[in-house]
Amino acid sequence: MVTNLEELYSVEPPTKLRNKDEKFCPAQTSPFWLWVADRYFYGMPEKRFHGLYYKGAEKFYTQKDPDTPIIMFAPHHNWWDGMMGYVICNRIFKKEIRIMIEELNRFPLIRRGGAFSVNKKSPQASMPAIKYAVDCLGDPNNILYIFPEGIIKPPNHRPLELQTGMTYIAEKAAKKYGKVALMPVAVNYCFLRENVPEILIDFGDIIHLTDDKPNRKEYTEYLGKVLEEHCDKQINNIKTGNLKGYEVLFQTKLRWYRRIEQRLKKIDRRKSGV
């Protein structure tokens, strides 16, 4: 079946489009299921991408106190984004992810990896998920990973227009715990010099929100500008080939024909007659 390109993106979230009530489902992790999820969510990128590289991870430890709750927020442009959230939280920072997923009843097993449901049919329908997100932030072993645009947007869509839900969660968490940290995350899937794409992840500077109540609309716009500038900086670095400072999470071995190619490049053609 050929996908209609005009129908790839919708301005309405799925639960609102379907107007269907669904029971709230919290995350349900355990050591065994996290072991299973780790192999699935880490194994798939290894098979599909040449490598995964990240930088700025040290800010997680140097720019906030260990017990300060943290929200990571990123754009949502494709199918891999949720999986990258898992890799970031569980593999890079050795924490458990807590991530909102619409229509979780269609993918119930990902609750075992840290997902919980959200119904965006109305503000009232989304309240159980918001309350649960605030409660999750009380556990220092959790990272709340949010796509604050609320829906999937086309790649590199601008401007980044965030919904106020994340600000509401941060505001409630700051009031409950005294302070909350927010870290922008830029993720890019790109072809560099290999025949398969690679993943670049950049962690931005942490923003602290105290229990002082901000203007929700203005603070949301501010966070949107911070995230957009952070993502644009990553894109500009990629465009100019400025790829210094990245750490390697994984990098696949070259296939046999790529190894031959690399060896051929080392041949001194002036003496080879080529």
CATH number of the domain encompassing residue 49: 3.40.1130.10
Question: Each residue of 123-171: pLDDT tens digit?
Answer: 888 999 999 999 999 999 999 999 999 999 999 999 999 999 999 999 9
What local confidence, expressed as pLDDT, does residue 262 receive? 66
- Indicate the SS3 state at residue 146: strand
Structurally, how many domains does the chain consist of?
1
Q: Residue 272: its pLDDT value, please? A: 46
Q: What is the CA radius of gyration of the chain?
A: 20
User: pLDDT category, 9, cuts 50, 70, 90?
Assistant: confident
247-251/51-55 β-pairing: antiparallel
Domain that holds residue 184: 15-272
Residue 218 and residue 215: Cα distance in Å, rounded? 5
Among 95-99, 150-154, 181-185, the minimum mean pLDDT is found in 150-154
pLDDT, averaged across the chain: 90
Question: Residue 10: inside a domain, yes or no?
Answer: no
DSSP line for 160-210: ----THHHHHHHHHHHHHSEEEEEEEEEEEE--SSSS-EEEEEE---EEEE
Per-residue pLDDT of 69-87, as tens digits, reads: 999 999 999 999 999 999 9
203-240 pLDDT tens trace: 999 999 998 788 999 999 999 999 999 999 999 999 99
Res 269: pLDDT: 47
Q: Does residue 5 belong to any structural domain of this protein? A: no
* pLDDT given at position 139: 97
pLDDT of residue 171: 96
What pLDDT does residue 8 have?
A: 83
Has residue 7 been placed in a domain? no
pLDDT-derived band at 266 (thresholds 50, 70, 90) equals low
In a domain, 25, yes or no: yes
The per-residue pLDDT for 273 is 46
Q: Which helix or strand (DSSP H or E) is residue 143 part of?
A: strand 142-146
**Nearest-angstrom CA–CA distance, 143 and 88:** 10
Whole-model pTM: value is: 0.90
Phi-psi map region of 206: left, alpha, beta (phi>0 left; psi -120 to 50 alpha): beta
Quick one: what percent of the chain has pLDDT higher than 90?
73
Residue 196 has a CB neighbour count (10 Å cut-off) of 13
142, part of any domain? yes
Structural domain includes residue 8? no
pLDDT tops 80 at residue 21: no
Spatial separation of the C-alpha atoms in residues 31 and 35, rounded to whole Å: 6
